[in-house]
């Protein structure tokens, strides 16, 4: 039976069909739906982990204990899990261990566009790159087999267009997979130098064997047609190229690391002009050039951003398609993402803006508060960084500066990697004020549970992390909890805690308005007799607009959170009758 | 067939693209659908692509090759108009949602979008999808009203659309969505348009 599946759904289906019984992940766009779909398969023990490093550690343990395992994350998640990946490379695996890692070229939802292939190369582990949903599913099976045959973790490299595109997939029955024996083998899995030095040699030999595999595997396919143009390509770039250059010859690298030198050399000799069309970094191109062979790559294909048909057409054919060109689009205002009507964060950042504090921010929906009109975040670097960075501000500029500074971090991000930063503040006698924006979910990636919500991925009740007790245990003495929309109380607390000469934690509570069980959605509001003072415009609510000297509330967008009623000095905003 | 769907995050563009994908699948065609998830869904500009035919390679539509743009908001229709091929069709909801730069006063919402569409070598139709969605029983069915309007100008059997809607939406919402489809389909004829006989 065939069905149309999202790339991520197909990866999940592959995990099911090929006998995966353990799956772990931390959500991250564009990888999240892999695990959201895996949870539907009863045969797979699935979890949201606190972060990607723990997810991979769970995966490594499961593999050594005999279960086929998949661990999923976005590209920057692999930075967090890198220690585990680098360290498990030499020991290798027991049952198949697959890391599904989704890159985000063009940075649709990411802070950078790092190329995951560098990690595969650094760890000396093979990389598979599907080019559609069918291959997403198939490559999970092939990847697990390679993992077991070659005693190595395997990276399945996805990207936004692979993960978030749907295409047809042939569904098969589940292949029963027997749990392997627990591999009690300290001479393999204790990475003390005496063992690891020996495994270092094994890892190098493994790479030679994988190079031999690359020459023969059906993952690397050659399609000879016109030999005037030869294209060496991988992943989604294959699809863009095929559409623009249907007559060319192709070497499609489904196994993009290590590369098949002989196969590539022969292909280049058989074609007149050879292009390497790869998204992001010139990894294939540079390797080929290091062999003294001549190909055209990043001279004509950009290194920045996603590729598409237009780019390939311009690069190879020097052509462009004439569509509807118009002056029309020139003055179209941009539409950046915004905090939703009713959002937890709006009240908090309204207060921070009002108090003109230095705000060390973090990663989540609340990063959007950096932009006008809330304009109340100075930095956002990586997951969990807000707390350590705020403490860094203090180290550099002293306690008085710290009194004008707060760190803000979401509940999921705090669990992910904020806790150690908070320990540092206490241990090293800091003054830092930390605001945990607790909206009871991982909102940005589409509302996943996490250890702070008290619910597992399958909705089972679990022990919720008690942020107050945790902060106390770390040694924080000043802890206050407040409704995120009670802006008067919040303002008082923020002033009090930033002035205090010891570290403090403020927990702002209010569930994300988009949560299915949210009780916050009420009747929309409307404005009567507006004085036109524009105070309500400062909260940047998409439901409020201003025209002809008065503010208006769009009924179809308003969720009735009443935050604006607390801003309006004239009491002009009322519930709809 | 290349159909580009443009919308404001949260308006239901992903579900609309899935309905189109199901419809193409049920018709026995090769199909690819490219969606947007993540940050842009928070009220940002979103675009999804649906392509079907004999054999589809790329999941995204090249500029200048879209047959149809289905826009959930006027500004979002205008934003992607260069993706249309000459003679292509823009179907847009008449809804206006101010983007943040307009709310903050940093930019203006162009008031003359319809006149601008008129000047282009395209077909266009404007439909008050929000009103029809409310009439159907839920303002969130704007997406399916627009699919109804789209269905009315294609030569694909009506039943195939209905089947796809039934497969793509939650069971308890099938009734409301079929009504929304009906309203979009029926009222497609009375839509504002600059060309007659928009058969494609």
- What is the torsional sign of CA A54, A58, A64, A70? negative
pLDDT of residue B199: 40
A338 touches chain B (CB under 8 A): yes
Query: Cβ–Cβ contacts within 10 Å for residue A420, how many?
Result: 11
Q: Among A310, A328, A538, which would you mutate to test the B interface (most chain B Cβ atoms within 10 Å of its Cβ)?
A: A328
User: What is the rounded CA–CA span in Å between residue A393 and residue A347?
Assistant: 25
Contacts of A32 in chain B (CB under 8 A): 37
Q: Indicate which CATH number applies to the domain containing A229.
A: 3.40.50.920
Give all strands (DSSP E) within A281-421, no chain letters: 358-360, 405-410
**CATH for A472:** 3.40.50.970
For chain A, the C-alpha Rg in angstroms (whole number) is 27
Query: What string of DSSP letters covers A178-237?
Result: PPPPP---HHHH--SHHHHHHHHHHHHHHHHHHHHHHHH-TTEEEE-SEEEEEEEE-HHH
| Nearest CA among A52, A211, A72 for reference residue A140 | A72
Six-digit token string for B52:
């079907």
Taking the C-alpha atoms of residue A478 and residue B20, their distance in angstroms, rounded to an integer, is: 55
- Residues A235 and A186 occupy one common structural domain: no
**Same domain (yes/no): A57, A195:** yes
Backbone angles phi, psi at A445, to 5 degrees: -85, 0
- Helix, coil or strand: residue B107: coil
- Whole-prediction pTM: 0.96
Contact check, Cβ <8 Å, B97/A542:
yes
Count, residues in chain A = 577
- Residue B200: what pLDDT? 40
Contact list in B for residue A240 (CB cut-off 8 A) is: 57-58
Average pLDDT (A185-210) is 97
Q: Do A533 and A490 fall within a single domain? A: no
Q: Does A331 touch chain B (CB under 8 A)?
A: yes
Are A188 and A88 part of one and the same domain? yes
CB contact under 8 A, A30 and B38: yes
Distance between CA atoms of A350 and A347, rounded to whole angstroms? 5
- A567 closest CA partner among A520, A514, A531: A531
Q: A239, A333, A539: best mutation site toward chain B, by most B Cβ within 10 Å?
A: A333
User: Of B37, B58, B82, which has the smallest distance from its Cβ to A325's Cβ?
Assistant: B82
The tokens describing B24, both together, are: 């193409």
Q: Kindly state the average pLDDT of the residues A325-345.
A: 89
Domain of A211 in residue numbering reads as 2-216
Selecting from B35, B42, B58 the residue whose C-beta is nearest the C-beta of A338 gives B42
Q: Is residue A444 part of a domain?
A: yes
What are the distances in angstroms from CA A342 to CA A354, A443, A515, B141?
A: 19, 13, 11, 21
Determine, yes or no, domain membership for A337.
no
Mention every residue, 6+ apart, whose C-beta is less than 8 A from residue A188.
Answer: A91, A92, A195, A199
- What's the whole-number mean pLDDT along residues A504-508? 98
Q: What is the mean pLDDT of residues A411-417?
A: 98
Q: Which residue has the tokens 């995120």?
A: A484
Its sign, for the CA torsion A410, A415, A419, A420, is: negative
Are the C-beta atoms of residues B38 and B73 closer than 8 Å to each other? no
CA separation, residue A453 to residues A3, A50, A465, B168 (Å): 34, 12, 7, 30
Do residue A311 and residue A435 come from a single domain? no
d(CA A46, CA A223): 39
Chain mean pLDDT for chain B: 91
* Cα–Cα dist A230/A275, whole Å: 6
* pLDDT category of residue A292 using cuts at 50, 70 and 90: very high
In a domain, A398, yes or no: yes
Query: A173, A194, A216: which is the final residue of a domain?
Result: A216
Tokens (6 digits) for A248: 């060319």
The tens digit of pLDDT for each residue in B88-115 reads 999 999 999 999 999 888 999 999 999 9
Answer yes or no: do A471 and A400 share one domain: yes
CB-CB under 8 Å, B101 with A168: no
| Selection from A58, A235, A210, A194 nearest residue A123 by Cα | A210
Interface of B with A in 41-100 (CB under 8 A): 41-45, 56-60, 62-65, 75-76, 78-79, 81-86, 88, 97-100
Question: Which helix or strand (DSSP H or E) is residue A154 part of?
Answer: strand A154-159
Say if A332 falls within a structural domain. Answer: no
pLDDT tens-digit readout, B109-166: 999 999 999 889 999 999 999 999 999 999 999 999 999 999 998 989 999 999 999 9
Considering only CB atoms, which chain A residues are within 8 Å of B45?
A: 334-335
At B37 the pLDDT is: 74
State percent of chain A over pLDDT 90.
Answer: 93
DSSP state at residue B190? G
Distance CA B23, CA B124 (A): 23
Q: Produce one character per residue of A435-447: b if its CB has 16 or more CB atoms within 10 Å, e if not.
A: bbbbbbbbbbbbb
Question: Does an H or E element contain A512, and which?
Answer: none
Looking at chain A from residue 373 to 392, which residues have their Cβ under 8 Å from any Cβ of chain B? 373
Instruction: Verify that A239 and A370 share a domain, yes or no.
Output: no
Count Cα atoms within 13 angstroms, Cβ side, for B50. 23
Please name the member of A167, A323, A371 whose beta carbon is closest to the beta carbon of B64: A323
Of residues A516 and A211, which shows the higher confidence score? A211
Q: Which of A132, A143, A120, A192 has its CA nearest to residue A18?
A: A143
Does A139 share its domain with A211? yes
- pLDDT category of residue B197 using cuts at 50, 70 and 90: very low
Mean pLDDT of chain A: 96
Q: Do residue B60 and residue A309 have CB atoms under 8 angstroms apart?
A: yes
| A263 falls within a domain | yes
Last residue of a domain, one of A481, A509, A537: A509
Could you count the other beta carbons within 10 Å of the beta carbon of residue B105? Answer: 12
Distance of CA A492 to the CA centre of its chain: 35
* pLDDT at B83 exceeding the cut of 60: yes
Contacts of B105 in chain A (CB under 8 A): 546
Do A17 and A151 belong together in one domain?
Answer: yes
Is some CB atom of chain A closer than 8 A to the CB atom of B21? yes
| Residue A290 to residue A259: CA distance in whole angstroms | 12
| Cα–Cα dist B51/B17, whole Å | 10
Contact A241, A233 (CB under 8 A): yes
Contact A537 B42 (CB under 8 A): no
What is the distance between the alpha carbons of residues A500 and A498, in angstroms, rounded to a whole number? 6
Continuous segment of H or E residues that includes residue A352: helix A344-354
Find the CATH number of the domain harbouring A563: 3.30.70.20
What is the rounded distance in angstroms from the CA atom of residue A454 to the CA atom of residue A456?
7
| pLDDT value at B191 more than 70 | no
Strand-pair category, B66-71 with B2-8: parallel
Residue at A239 is within a domain: yes
Nearest residue, CB atoms, B58 vs list A239, A325, A335: A239
C-alpha distances out from residue A379 to A365, A388, A405, A459, Å: 14, 12, 12, 34
CB atoms B81 and A326 under 8 Å: yes
C-alpha–C-alpha distance, residues B149 and B181, integer Å: 8
Backbone angles phi, psi at A541, to 5 degrees: -90, 125
Query: Is residue A322 one of the residues assigned to a domain?
Result: no
8 Å CB contact of A328 and B78:
yes
Check whether the bond before A364 is cis (ω within 30° of 0): no
Q: Hey, is A90 helix, strand or coil?
A: coil
Least confident of A249-263, A321-335, A352-366, B88-102: A321-335
Reply yes or no on whether the pLDDT at B198 is more than 60: no
The pLDDT of residue A548 is 85
DSSP lists the bridge partners of residue A167 as A5
Residues 6+ apart with CB under 8 A from A178: none
End residue of a domain, out of A485, A509, A533? A509
Same domain membership, residue A450 and residue A533: no
Q: In this predicted model, which residue has the larger pLDDT, B153 or B32?
A: B32
Dist CA A284 CA A286 (whole Å): 6
A6 DSSP β-pair partners: A166
> What is the enclosing helix (H) or strand (E) of A366?
none
Nearest 5°: the CA angle B142, B148, B153 is: 135
Dist CA A448 CA A3 (whole Å): 26
Which distant-in-sequence residues (6+ apart) come within 8 Å of A413 by Cβ? Answer: A362, A363, A364, A383, A384, A386
- Using the beta-carbon criterion (under 8 Å), do A335 and B116 form an inter-chain contact? no
Residue A361 has what DSSP assignment? -
B3 pLDDT more than 60: yes
Closest Cβ opposite residue B62 in set A3, A32, A321:
A321
Q: Are B44 and B10 in contact (CB under 8 A)?
A: no
From chain B, the residues in CB contact with A310 under 8 A are: 62-63
Total beta-carbon pairs less than 8 A apart between chain A and chain B? 195
Q: Where are the domains of chain B?
A: 2-96+110-193
User: Is residue A338's pLDDT more than 60?
Assistant: yes
- Same domain (yes/no): A19, A156: yes
DSSP β-bridge partners for residue A249? A230
Cα A252 to chain centroid distance, Å, stands at: 27
> Which residues on chain B are in Cβ contact (under 8 Å) with A109?
37-40
Q: What is the pLDDT of residues A272-290, one digit of tens each?
A: 999 999 999 999 999 999 9
Number of domains in chain A: 4
Q: Does A329 touch chain B (CB under 8 A)?
A: yes
Domain B2-96+110-193: give its CATH code.
Answer: 3.40.920.10
């Amino acid at each position: 039976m065939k069905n149309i599946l999202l790339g991520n759904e197909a990866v999940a289906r592959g995990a099911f069909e090929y006998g995966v019984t353990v799956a772990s992940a931390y959500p991250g766009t564009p990888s999240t739906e892999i695990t959201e779909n895996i949870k539907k398969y009863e045969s797979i023990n699935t979890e949201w982990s606190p972060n990607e490093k723990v997810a991979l550690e769970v995966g490594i343990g499961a593999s050594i204990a005999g279960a086929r395992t998949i661990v999923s994350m976005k590209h920057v998640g692999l930075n967090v899990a890198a220690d585990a990946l680098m360290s498990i490379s030499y020991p290798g695996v027991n049952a198949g261990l697959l890391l599904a890692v989704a890159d985000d070229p063009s940075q649709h939802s990411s802070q950078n566009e790092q190329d995951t292939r560098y990690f595969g190369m650094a760890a000396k582990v093979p990389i598979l790159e599907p080019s559609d949903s069918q291959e997403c599913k198939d490559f999970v099976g092939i990847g697990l087999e390679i993992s077991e045959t070659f005693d190595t973790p395997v990276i399945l490299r996805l990207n936004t267009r692979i993960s978030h595109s749907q295409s047809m997939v042939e569904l098969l029955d589940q292949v029963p997979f027997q749990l392997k024996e627990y591999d009690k083998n300290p001479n393999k899995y204790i990475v003390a130098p005496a063992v690891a030095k020996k495994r270092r040699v094994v890892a190098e030999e493994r790479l030679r064997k994988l190079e031999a595999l690359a020459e023969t595997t059906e993952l690397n396919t050659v399609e000879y047609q016109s030999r005037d143009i030869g294209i060496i390509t991988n992943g989604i770039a294959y699809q863009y190229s095929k559409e623009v250059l249907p007559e060319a010859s192709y070497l499609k690298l489904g196994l993009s690391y290590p590369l098949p030198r002989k196969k590539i050399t022969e292909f280049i000799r058989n074609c007149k002009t050879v292009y390497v069309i790869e998204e992001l970094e010139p990894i294939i191109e540079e390797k080929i050039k290091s062999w003294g062979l001549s190909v055209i790559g990043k001279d004509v294909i950009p290194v920045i951003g996603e590729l598409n048909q237009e780019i390939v057409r311009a690069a190879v054919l020097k052509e462009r398609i004439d569509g509807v060109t118009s002056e029309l689009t020139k003055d179209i205002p941009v539409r950046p993402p915004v905090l939703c009507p009713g959002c937890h964060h709006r009240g908090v950042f309204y207060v921070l803006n009002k108090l003109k504090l230095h705000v060390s921010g973090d990663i989540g929906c609340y990063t959007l508060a950096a932009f006008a009109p809330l304009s109340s975040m100075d930095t956002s670097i990586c997951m969990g960084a807000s707390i350590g960075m705020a403490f860094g501000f203090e180290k550099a500029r002293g306690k008085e500066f710290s009194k004008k500074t707060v760190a803000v971090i979401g509940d999921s991000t705090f669990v992910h990697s904020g806790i150690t930063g908070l320990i540092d503040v206490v241990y090293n006698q800091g003054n830092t004020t930390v605001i945990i924006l607790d909206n009871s979910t991982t909102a940005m990636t589409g509302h996943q549970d996490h250890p702070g919500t008290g619910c597992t991925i399958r909705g089972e009740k679990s022990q919720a992390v008690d942020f107050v007790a945790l902060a106390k245990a770390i040694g924080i003495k000043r802890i206050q909890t407040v409704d995120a929309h009670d802006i008067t109380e919040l303002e008082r607390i923020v002033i009090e805690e930033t002035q205090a000469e010891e570290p403090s934690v403020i927990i702002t509570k209010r569930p994300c308005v988009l949560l299915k069980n949210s009780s916050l959605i009420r009747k929309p509001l409307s404005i009567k007799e507006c004085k036109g003072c524009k105070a309500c415009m400062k909260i940047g609510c998409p439901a409020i607009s201003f025209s002809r000297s008065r503010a208006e509330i769009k009924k179809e967008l308003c969720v009735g959170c009443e935050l604006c009623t607390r801003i309006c000095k004239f009491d002009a905003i009322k519930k709809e009758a | 067939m290349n159909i580009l769907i443009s919308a404001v995050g949260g308006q239901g563009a992903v579900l609309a693209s899935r309905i189109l994908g199901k419809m193409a699948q049920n018709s026995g065609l090769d199909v690819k659908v490219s969606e947007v998830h993540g940050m842009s869904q928070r009220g940002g500009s979103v675009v999804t692509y649906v392509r079907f035919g004999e054999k589809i390679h790329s999941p995204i539509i090249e500029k200048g090759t879209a047959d149809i743009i289905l826009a959930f908001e006027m500004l979002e229709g205008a934003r992607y108009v260069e993706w249309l091929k000459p003679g292509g069709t823009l179907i847009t909801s008449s809804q206006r949602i101010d983007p943040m730069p307009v709310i903050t006063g940093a930019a203006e919402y162009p008031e003359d979008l319809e006149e601008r569409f008129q000047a282009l070598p395209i077909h266009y139709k404007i439909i008050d999808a929000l009103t029809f969605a409310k009439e159907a029983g839920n303002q969130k069915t704007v997406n399916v009203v627009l699919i109804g309007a789209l269905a009315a100008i294609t030569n694909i059997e009506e039943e195939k659309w209905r089947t796809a809607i039934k497969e793509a939406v939650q069971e308890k919402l099938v009734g409301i969505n079929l009504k929304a489809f009906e309203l979009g389909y029926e009222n497609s004829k009375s839509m504002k348009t600059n060309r007659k006989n928009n058969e494609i």
